[in-house]
Amino acid sequence: MDTFRENDIIISSLYYILFEVDILKKIKFFKGLILAFLILISILSIIYLIISLSLLLPMGFQFLNNKYTAVSDLMTNYSTVFESVFTLVGILTSLTVSLLLYRLTKKQIIDSYNREVRGPSIAVYFKIKFYILNMLIEKMIKEKKFLKNKDFKDLKFIFNELPKVDTEDIDKYLFLVIGELKDRGVKNLIFGLIEDIKTNKNVLPYLLKENLIDKNNNLIEIDALVWENVVKSIYFDNYDSFTPLYKNMIENVYELSQRKN
């Protein structure tokens, strides 16, 4: 039953990722198309204004110097040109104001995200990360006598316990983050993981790949150097040692914790 559930989550996650990537590509394409269109309109408008003003200014100077003679067949055409010039100036002004408002709104949205989503995401991410690291290091210390290469001089990294993190208040941050996660499979996984963390359960057997540790929490890999690389990778936000499902989950949370610019 668990295998079917995992397969279902994998398929739904892959489908969602592919669907989201396709949507993002389309949005990016249309945004680029709209921007290119607006730039083209602006360039053509400026060219038209330059040509129009180059024709109208000499007439304006003649008019100011009382040298301009009004001709009936030209008046309609030039009045239309004047009208179009002011219309274009209005359009360019509107475009400029719209662009400024867009940039201001975008900045407000980004600031709101960084304040309301990024902060809680950082808390959830680091609480999960350091809970896993502490549990992994405790396991290494406990199993040290069974490891080979354990006396290698650079192995202090995995035998030095990290500062403990308080996970009791993780719910306070989780519900601010969970709404930003769009993949239902990821939501299910993080809820289950958080429940296990709150009750101080061992999460290593289902987080790490089967070539590292089995489902009964027995080490498959006994080389201390390999475990050092695993610990260092997790510490530096690399989750290649995780199963694909949980790697995708933790990377989703990590992405939410990154600052938007």
Model pLDDT for residues 154-211, shown as the tens digit of each residue: 666 666 767 777 888 888 888 888 888 888 888 889 989 999 998 889 999 999 999 9
Check whether 22 has a pLDDT greater than 60: no
Model pLDDT for residues 115-146, shown as the tens digit of each residue: 778 888 888 999 999 999 989 888 888 888 88
Query: 204, 132 in Cβ contact below 8 A?
Result: yes
If DSSP codes are grouped into helix, strand and coil, which group holds residue 213?
strand
Of 118, 159, 116, 115, which is closest to residue 137 (Cα–Cα)? 159
Query: DSSP readout, 143-180?
Result: TGGG-BSTT-TTTHHHHSPPPP---TTHHHHHHHHGGG
Model pLDDT for residues 41-69, shown as the tens digit of each residue: 777 777 777 777 777 677 666 666 666 55
Give the pair of three-digit tokens for residue 148. 């080979």
Model pLDDT for residues 88-112, shown as the tens digit of each residue: 777 777 777 777 887 788 788 877 8
